Amino acid sequence: MAPSKWLTFRNTHAPGKVYSFPNAGSRRYTHEEYFARVWLPVVHSERVTVLMGPSYRTEQFELKTTGENPISRMSNWNLRSYALDVNAVVRLDSSSWLIATSHFNKSGNTAELSFRQIPVNYTLSASYLRKKSLNKELGFGILFNQSYKLTILPVLIYNHNYAENAGFEIMLPKKIAWRRNLSANDILYLKAESVTRTYYTNHWASEVPDVCRRVDVDMAVTYNRKLGSMIGMEVSAGYRKNLSTRLIEGAVPLRTSGFAMTFDLYVQPPKFKGKK
C-alpha cells in the first residue's frame, strides 16, 4: 500500500547536538546528511526476484558556536559512505517466501583515509515470510551485522492491514510503523526506526583506523505524497533518541538527542510495456 522507490534522494537535519572537548569546552553542532540510492533489477522471474541497490551518503558535523572546530578533520563533507544492497525474494508457494538481504559499505573520513584503507562493514539477514490471511503477513529470521563489532539479532516481520486504508508495518530490529492511507496519493505514518552510522577515521595519524559511531532511534510523523504517476516526496519530523555515541578521542557527548527532520524526493519504478 506504499509506493515503491526506484530512485531516492534524501536530506536530513538533526540540530542541537552538544559535545565537550579538552581545552575547548562545549560546542554545538548540527548533523546534516545527504543520501542517494537507486534500485536495479538483476533477476525478475515468477519465483525469484533479485535487486541491487548502490548508494552514496555524506554527513558533516556543522559547527553552530563560535571558535575553532575541535573536529574540523571530520567537517567539509569528508564523512562519506559507499554502499551496495543486494536483496533476493524466493517464492516457495502461493503464500510463503524466503527473503535474503545484504548490505555492504565502506564508510569513513576520506580526508584522512583512502578508499582502500577503509574496512568493509556488512549486514546479512535471512527470513521466512508467510501470508496468514488476505491482510496479514508474519515472518521471522536472523540478522548478522559486522560494523565495528559483530552483532547477531533475531528478525521479526509483521504486516497487518486491519482496515482498507490502515495497517501496521513491523520489521524488527529496523522499524515499527502505523500507516494510514489518506487517499490514493497521500499516506501518513507514525513510526520508530533505527539509525546506525559508523565511520572509520585515522585520528592522531594512527596506523589502525579509529571509529566514529552513533546509534539512534527516530520517532517521527511522516507524510508521503505522490506527485503524478512517477514522482513522490516524503517529509518526516520528530524526536531522535540517541542510544550510544562514539566521537573522536577526548570528546564527551553532552546532548545527543533532539529534533530531527528528513526530506525525501523519489522516483517510482518505470513501467515498460512489452510487445503483444
Q: How many CA atoms lie within 13 A of 102 on its CB side?
A: 8
Residue 203's pLDDT is: 60
pLDDT in tens, the chain (276 residues): 677 899 999 999 999 999 999 988 999 999 999 999 999 999 999 999 999 999 999 999 999 998 888 887 777 778 999 999 999 999 999 999 999 999 999 999 988 888 888 999 999 999 999 999 999 999 999 999 998 889 999 999 999 999 999 999 999 999 999 999 999 999 999 999 999 999 998 765 566 678 899 999 999 999 999 998 899 999 999 999 999 999 888 889 999 999 999 999 999 987 644 444
Task: Transcribe the chain into DSSP letters.
Answer: -----SEEEEEEEEEEEEEEETTTEEEEEEEEEEEEEE-EEEEE-SSEEEEEEEEEEEEEEEE-SSS--TTGGG-TT-EEEEEEEEEEEEEEETTEEEEEEEEEEEEEETTTS-TTTSPPEEEEEEEEEEEEETTEEEEEEEEEEEESEEEEEEEEEEEEEEETTEEEEEEETTEEEEEEE-SSSEEEEEEEEEEEEEEEE-GGG-SS-EEEEEEEEEEEEEEEEEETTTEEEEEEEEEEEEEEEE-STT-EEEE--EEEEEEEEEEPPP--PPP-
- Which residue from 163, 175, 155, 154 is spatially nearest to 136, judged by alpha carbons? 163
Residue 274's pLDDT is: 45
Residue 95's pLDDT is: 94
Tell me the C-alpha distance between 77 and 56, whole Å: 12
**Greatest C-alpha distance within the chain:** 73
Residue 148's pLDDT is: 80
Could you tell me the pTM of the whole model?
0.91
